[in-house]
Chains A and B, each alone.
Chain A
Amino acid sequence: MSTITQKICLLGDFSVGKTSLVRRFIEDKFSDRYLSTVGVKVSRKLVEVKTEIETHQINLLIWDLEGNTKFKSIAPSYLKGASSSIIVGDLSRSDTLSNLTQHLRLFWEINPQGQVAVALNKADLIPPEKLAKLVENYQLDNFPRVIGVYTTSAKTGDRIEQMFEDIATVLIPARKP
């Protein structure tokens, strides 16, 4: 059983729910009080991924970055060395969704080989019938190295575990011959 450590960055506009996603994933807690992240907050969780051959332990170091606003962009130096990233958008705010590609570009500019998962958060606020249509508009699967687009909800915990597991699976190092 091998253990590797990987850095994951959360990117997205302010108040899309990056910190809440991390909190749900790590502590399984949610609070609807909005607290703006200042700078960066680093968290850690050990994820086990079972493949047919063996069990891998992936130590995810999750860098929850300050969301960018009109006046302040994300410091690129925080993204350095990240093997993957979660780009977060808020389903209830369309501008945050249209910014997703911009974040993708920024991340790949610094980590050209980085893997990306797209989280469309706050799915609980959107009626189910509208949800499918909204998601259809933001299919980013045509980009290479996009693991998937996930409609998540930090409030209900929907799809979050799955998203992190998928990321961890992708991060398992290729078996050396």
Chain B
Amino acid sequence: MNEGCQNLSDLSNHKKLNSANLEQIKDLIEILVDEETLPDTDSESPSKPNSNLSRSAQPDLNFLESDSINQKEMATEQESKSEEAAKLLALTAIEEVQGIETEKAIPEDLADTVNNLIPLIVGLLEFKLDNSREGIIETVRPVLDRLIAERTLEDSPKMAAAIARILPAAIEDEIRLNPLSIARAIAPEIALSIREQILLDADAIPKTLGPEMGKAIKAQIESERDAMVDALYPVIGSTISKYMVEVVQDINSKIERTLSPEGIKRKFRAKVQGISEAELIFQESVGYRVRAIFLIDKDSGLIIQEIQIPGERHLDSEMLAGMLTAICSFANDCIASGSELDLVDYGDWQILLEVAGYCYLAVIVAGEPPRAFITKTRQVLGKIVMEHDKAIQNFNGNLADVPLGIKTKLEQLTETNQNKPQSSSPILLWLLIFVLGLVFVPWGISSYRARIAHRIEQASAIQLDAAPELSVYRLDPTVKQGKLIVRGRVPDNYLRDRAETILQEIAEKNQLEIDNQIVAVNVPVSPNLVTGEIQRLTNLFNQQPQVSIQTSYQPKTLNINGLVLDKSTRQSIGQAFQQIPGIEQIVFNLSEQLSIAKQRIYFKSGSSELNFADNFAKINAVKQLLQQHPQVHLQLVASNDTIGSYLINYKLNYERCQSVKTALVARGIQAARLINNCNSIRSANNQDPSRADWLKRYVRFEPFIPSNFK
């Protein structure tokens, strides 16, 4: 009803009333009145003044326009007298219209009249609606579309405005009553409209849909989890797998290096901390890095010192410090009074908080920082507080007043991080270094020594090889415990000594002691050569008058048979044969000849007569010897007492020799084997003057073997 009023008042304000409009209004009123009311009006008293009616309607209109609540109140108030009023209204309205018709009114008057009419028509409509709804509908229906169409043609913005107000409600109603048809009507255009809207304002649609996406995805996951998993799998799966491949590679390489110092350190750490080694490896693989360090005034939240790692996104340190401080205060006030917040964890990042008296340290770290790092932050803060507590306490917001020492101390935290991503407690590290030292220092020294030794050995081998006489033998020089040991085999001691001489030089240069372990091996000599040599020596010795030997050689052993008439010759024979290689043992099988040389036959002074009684045994012994060794000849040598003249003695010598010779010949000895050598005077002069004279008068025997008897 209000809308109707509006339209009508628009109509009047426009002052474009023409006769057609007027006709319409008149028709409308007539229709309204004709159906029911008009006959009734006859029965009602028409005596009430018209002017009153119109006056009473006027304030009603004002009410209607100003306040809808009042309108409703009025409606109920009117209910009782509505019928009566309606009749009066109708009459008045017709009169008014007729008045306009009859007079030739100017448009302004016309408008006024219509304005007056509006409340009447409204009242009528209202009444009519209450009483004969169907009738009204029937009446208005044929012209309604025309009315709307014409009005739209006339002033489409107004019409649009008029309809616009009810459109949302209308659509709402339609959706409620017939949702399917609305859906069908709009459906084809939704995609297009969204596209159009995106063209107009690219941000609007995402902004609208954005907040709902989360809920939508959540709902979808709730209703159809598998479909969502399938949809997201290609994206998330590959992202995760890419990340995991990297981590696994890292883990693999760490496991491969299990026996590296790092690996041993990790094993040790796992034992000490009671964490599995796998967890430690994972922690190391994921790693951590420091992004920023702030030293913050605890009360005001002002930054005292900050370090931001270059390469990371720069943080608005002051805002961050302020908010952190606020959060800390809040937590302290509301959650745990007296204790402090020590960790803020968001996603992959952590803010480690270490609180001291007037300040606190906030370290922003990506990943999982190891315990050692946390301990280090504590130590650093401790040092800062200890050294700069006055400056921190008096901090007034001026960064220029902050001591430089603070910054250098804070930088320690980043340095450690950059140089040693997986830092561990220094004690552990030193222990490890010590253990490794125990293993590697001796190893290093020994390997150095081994290298030196090897060089010496090589030099020695080259030197030995350079000596032609030694080059054919395998000699093995080794250096061990300050000694140059040389092993190997050579055929004789000469070569053994030769090798030692060569090595001596090298050993002295390197301050080593020579240990000659070369064995001179007895090489079996060719028996032909040995026997030849033996024969040669045998012949050589047999040329000597006192020697008559035969040699026979069995491998390694030489037998010497025969006669060697004096002791010294016998010794030299032994030595000579010893020199021949291949002879290890010499067996002498020689007759003892020494007694012959001692046999002396003494004579009386001045006599050459042999005293048989005295010398029988001696003569016999000589006889036996000569018989035993047929090749032995005897030279008879006489000696005198030098008493008397030379001539006498010479004669005596001769005669005495002759006597002995005769005696021996008489006993069957060939005279040829007995050579008289008594003409030599010399023998007498050799006498020892202290001797008794009788001892100087004798004949002695010098055995010899003539070469033709050998």
Contacts and interface: CB of A to CB of B under 8 A. Distances in A.
Contact of A44 (B318, B326, B330, B332): B318
A15 interface: no
Contact of A75 (B319, B322, B330, B400): B330
B326 A81 contact: no
A6 B302 CA distance: 7
Contact of A83 (B316, B319, B332, B397): B397
B399 interface: yes
A143 interface: no
Interface stretch (B202-210, B293-301, B511-519): B293-301
B543 interface: no
A71 B299 CA distance: 25
Contact of B299 (A2, A39, A42, A81): A81
Given A61-B302, A75-B333, A173-B398, A42 B297 contact: no
A119 B525 CA distance: 129
Interface string B316-330: 101100110010011
B367 to A, nearest CB: 27
Given A4-B398, A4-B399, A78 B329 contact: yes
A78 B301 CA distance: 9
Interface residues of A, number: 22
A23 interface: no
B684 interface: no
Contact of A42 (B319, B333, B397, B400): B319
A4 B396 contact: yes
Contact of A78 (B316, B318, B326, B397): B326
Interface string A25-49: 0000000000000011011100000
B319 A43 contact: yes
Contacts of B323: 40, 42
19 contacts: A2-B398, A4-B399, A5-B303, A5-B399, A7-B301, A42-B301, A42-B319, A42-B322, A44-B322, A59-B318, A59-B397, A61-B302, A61-B322, A63-B301, A63-B326, A80-B298, A81-B297, A81-B300, A83-B397
A61 B329 CA distance: 16
Interface in B282-325: 297-303, 316, 318-319, 322-323
Contacts of A83: 300, 396-397
B400 to A, nearest CB: 6
Contact of B301 (A2, A3, A81, A173): A81
Contacts of B400: 2
Nearest to A62: B322
A44 B316 contact: yes
Contacts of B399: 3-5
A44 B301 CA distance: 12
A5 B397 contact: yes
B455 to A, nearest CB: 69
A113 to B, nearest CB: 11
B326 A7 contact: no
B531 to A, nearest CB: 118
A82 interface: yes
A51 interface: no
Q: Which residue, B300, B318, B329, B399, has most C-beta atoms of chain A within 10 A?
A: B300
Contact of A63 (B316, B322, B397, B398): B322
Given A75-B330, A75-B333, A81 B319 contact: no
Interface string B395-410: 0111110000000000
A77 interface: yes
Interface of B: 297-303, 316, 318-319, 322-323, 326, 329-330, 332-333, 396-400
A39 B325 CA distance: 12
A61 B326 contact: no
Contacts of A82: 300
Given A7-B300, A42-B319, A61-B318, A77 B332 contact: yes
Interface in A59-98: 59, 61, 63, 75, 77-78, 80-83
Contacts of B302: 5-7, 61, 81
Contacts of A4: 396-399
Given A63-B322, A173-B396, A39 B301 contact: no
Contact of A6 (B316, B329, B397): B397
Contacts of A6: 302, 397
A48 B333 CA distance: 35
A43 B301 CA distance: 12
Contact of B318 (A5, A39, A75, A173): A5
Nearest to A3: B399
Given A2-B398, A43-B319, A61-B300, 20 more contacts: A3-B399, A4-B398, A6-B397, A7-B302, A7-B397, A39-B326, A40-B323, A40-B330, A42-B322, A44-B316, A61-B318, A61-B322, A63-B326, A75-B333, A77-B329, A77-B332, A78-B329, A80-B299, A81-B298, A83-B300
A170 to B, nearest CB: 13
A4 B319 CA distance: 15
A82 B300 CA distance: 6
Nearest to A79: B299
Contacts of B322: 7, 42, 44, 61, 63
A39 B330 contact: yes
Interface string A151-162: 000000000000
Q: Which residue, B298, B301, B398, has most C-beta atoms of chain A within 10 A?
A: B301
A6 B301 CA distance: 10
Nearest to B398: A4
B623 to A, nearest CB: 147
Nearest to A75: B333
Contacts of A81: 297-302
B408 to A, nearest CB: 21
Nearest to A76: B333
A45 B301 CA distance: 15
Contacts of A43: 319
B396 A40 contact: no
A162 B332 CA distance: 36
Contacts of A61: 300-302, 318-319, 322
The 9 closest A-B pairs by CB, nearest first: A81-B300, A81-B299, A42-B322, A80-B299, A77-B329, A4-B398, A5-B397, A7-B300, A4-B397
